[in-house]
Amino acid sequence: MKIDAVDFFYFAMPEVTTAADGSQDALVVRVSAGGYVGWGECEAAPLPTIAAFVCPMSHGACRPVSASVLGHALDGPEDIDAISRLVARDSMDLLQAQHTLSGIEMALWDILGKARSEPVWKLLGYQRSEAKIPYASLLFGDTPQETLERAKKARSDGFSAAKFGWGPIGTTSAQDDADQFVAAREGLGTDGWLMVDVGQIFAEDVDAAAARLPALEKVKAHWFEEPFYGSSYEAYAALGARGSSVRTAGGEAAHNLAMARHVMDIGKVGFVQIDCGRIGGIGPAKIVADLAGARGITYVNHTFTTHLALSASLQPYAGVARDRICEYPADPSALAQAIATNPILRDANGEIRAPEAPGLGIDVDLVRLKPYLVDTEISVKGQVLYRTPAI
């Protein structure tokens, strides 16, 4: 097979707010090869990500991603790896390239799975798709009362695990944050899994992050996610050295394998969270899952957007029975809900699995997404490099 076409679809909600909700817009990728169509999703700002695919060449190490993809062979996993290596080599100075590649790479796996009538996780070497415990991924409320109500709703919706993130955490006092943690625990119940994500709010201030540890310990938080910048590995290690029973989690900011290794080996996190829409796709995420297992670190997917992204994020560790917990978009935008016509639903035990269907097992209906389509054009010197594809 040859890669015939790559189409990017930029979708957005009618109003995009400053809330830390990554489901307010989406960049969906459609790839055609050998008569098959595959789908992927980039976890990045859509416009610069599209631009990285079509931009004029600056020099030999700053070429558009399209030059490494269109027309190339797709007959096996080795071809996907070859394309990824070519992008890394020829677009090394184009910093958005890895995000652009991520959605394309997912779609290539989707095509390969469909061509071979096998789910992607089987192509990755797994024999079965293991059950995962989905945690409702939610934002903290502006007040503890709002957080309490959100936690109660998650529990009433059947989630035994929930993660609360961002919101006002870290913007006022440690006591205010403690009140939020208590509210989340109260709403979720004493037996629920509670995770806390603070969205890099403490930058590299280890003392400020450590001031939240007693409250996190008191509510028995399962992890303390992204207290620092994604590449502030020494800060992660310093916080871990404080000896808290609450382990740190990080890795969603990794956009290459080295960053993922560093957060594990230097940062000493207890949980490594990888976003397939950022790190370069499913292949590199699978490598991280293998590395994490060898280090005794729990691998967790990072997914806050759609079920297309969710399926892709499950593939790298679908067959790893010991890594049970997974992020699940519990309250996404109407746009995000519309992307997958066959979402990944919880079973009678409240668990999910990566789909058994060929490829990623997710169907995308562009027609019902049309109301969210953002009409976009990129032109240079009068030449149109990109125009929104027709639906």
| DSSP H helices in the chain | 46-54, 77-90, 97-116, 120-123, 144-156, 174-188, 206-210, 213-218, 233-240, 257-265, 276-279, 282-295, 307-314, 334-339, 366-369
Contacts of 176 (CB under 8 A, 6+ apart): 168
Does residue 309 carry a pLDDT above 90? yes
Residue 121 DSSP SS3? helix
Examine the domain organization and report whether 263 and 182 are in the same domain: yes
Neighbours of 337 (CB within 10 A): 14
Q: Is 321 exposed, middle or buried (0-12, 13-18, 19+ CB in 10 A)?
A: exposed
Map residue 116 onto helix, strand or coil.
Answer: helix
- Domain membership of residue 69 as a residue range: 3-118+365-387
The torsion angle over the Cα atoms of residues 366, 369, 371 and 374, rounded to 10 degrees, is -80
Q: What pTM was computed for the model?
A: 0.95
In Å, how far from its chain's centre is CA 194? 19
Q: 99 with 146, same domain?
A: no
Whether 110 and 184 share a structural domain: no
Q: Judge if 201 and 255 occupy the same domain.
A: yes
CATH number at residue 247: 3.20.20.120
pLDDT digits (tens, 9 = 90+) for 281-296: 999 999 999 999 999 9
3-state secondary structure of 13: coil
**Phi then psi for 90, rounded to 5 degrees?**
-90, -10
The reported pLDDT for the residue numbered 27 is 97
pLDDT tens column, 98-146: 999 999 999 999 999 999 999 999 999 999 999 999 999 999 999 999 9
Angle, helices 282-295/257-265, rounded to nearest 10 degrees: 20
> Does 237 lie in the same domain as 107?
no
Q: Do the domain assignments include residue 345?
A: no
What is the rounded distance in angstroms from the CA atom of residue 132 to the CA atom of residue 311? 12
Tokens for 369, please give them.
């997404």
Domain contains 186: yes
Total domains in the chain come to 2
Whether 360 is in a domain gets the answer no
Residue 344 has pLDDT above 90, yes or no: yes
Q: How many helices (H) and strands (E) does the chain have?
A: 15, 13
pLDDT at 218: 98
- CA–CA separation, 377 vs 374, rounded Å? 10
191-246 confidence digits (pLDDT tens): 999 999 999 999 999 999 999 999 999 999 999 999 999 999 999 999 999 999 99
Query: Is residue 18 located within the same domain as residue 48?
Result: yes
Chain centre to alpha carbon of residue 357? 21
**112 and 135 both lie in a single domain:** no
Does 127 share its domain with 102? Answer: no
Q: Give the tokens for residue 103.
A: 């959605």
